[in-house]
Amino acid sequence: MAHVATPAAVKQDCARYHNSHTAKGITWRGVQRQDAPAIKALVQRAVPRSADWELTPRTHGIAAYSRSGALLAAVLATEPRTAAEAPGLYLTVAVDLNWYGTGLGMVGLNLIHRYLVQHGINASMLFGTCASREALSYLHAGYHVGKPHEPITLPGSEAPVYSPKTYHPCWFYRRFD
């Protein structure tokens, strides 16, 4: 797998995309409970095999909206179910298919940690799963990406974990400790 982009390169690319989006009237804001139907529909359309995905009280995130109020993308972080689970948050990234490849995912992946911290949600790691063909996007966003079917060791855990999703065999993650 390729190397993670340098922090300076990630910052530069993210700023370039964010400025371009802002010029087009795109804004990011925190997801609120009334957003649940639109967020659910976006995830179910944009993320393979997510027909049963729900926005739960343990899920926090940010979403990008057009000037007209259309939902374009969301980056969602789900807290562990119990204190015994690792102190990391599982990410779900959904970008409207018409906006795929425009940097919305990269910007969201770089804004999510700051949003979580500002709302009192601390995690030593943000992680998720992706298809091999999506790995480069996560690398460019500054995340580490494992090889397909390679396990990951989560903070506070000694046992490696394999992706439970055969269609998303790669872990992506960023540590914040």
Whole-number pLDDT of residue 60: 94
Using the predicted structure, report yes or no on whether residue 86 has a pLDDT greater than 70.
Answer: no
Whole-number pLDDT of residue 123: 83
Domain presence at residue 1: no
Domain presence at residue 29: yes
**Three-state secondary structure along 23-45?**
HCCCEEEECCHHHHHHHHHHHHH
**CATH code assigned at 51:** 3.40.630.30
C-alpha–C-alpha distance, residues 168 and 121, integer Å: 26
Average per-residue pLDDT for the chain: 87
Give the tens place of pLDDT for each residue, 109-167: 999 999 999 999 888 889 998 988 898 999 989 999 989 998 888 766 777 888 878 88
C-alpha–C-alpha distance, residues 97 and 107, integer Å: 16
C-alpha distance from residue 69 to each of 73, 98, 100, 145 (Å): 12, 15, 18, 33
Whole-number pLDDT of residue 87: 64
Domain presence at residue 110: yes
Of 87 and 19, the one with more pLDDT: 19
**SS3 for 95?**
strand
Domain presence at residue 68: yes
36: domain range? 7-175
Amino acid occupying residue 173: Y
Domain presence at residue 78: yes
Give the tens place of pLDDT for each residue, 1-25: 555 677 788 788 878 888 888 888 9
How many domains are there within the chain? 1
Whole-number pLDDT of residue 126: 92
- Which residues have C-beta within 8 Å of that of residue 99, sequence separation ≥ 6? 72, 73
This prediction has a pTM of 0.88
> 146, exposed or middle or buried, with CB in 10 Å at 0-12, 13-18, 19+?
buried
Whole-number pLDDT of residue 176: 84
C-alpha–C-alpha distance, residues 156 and 148, integer Å: 23
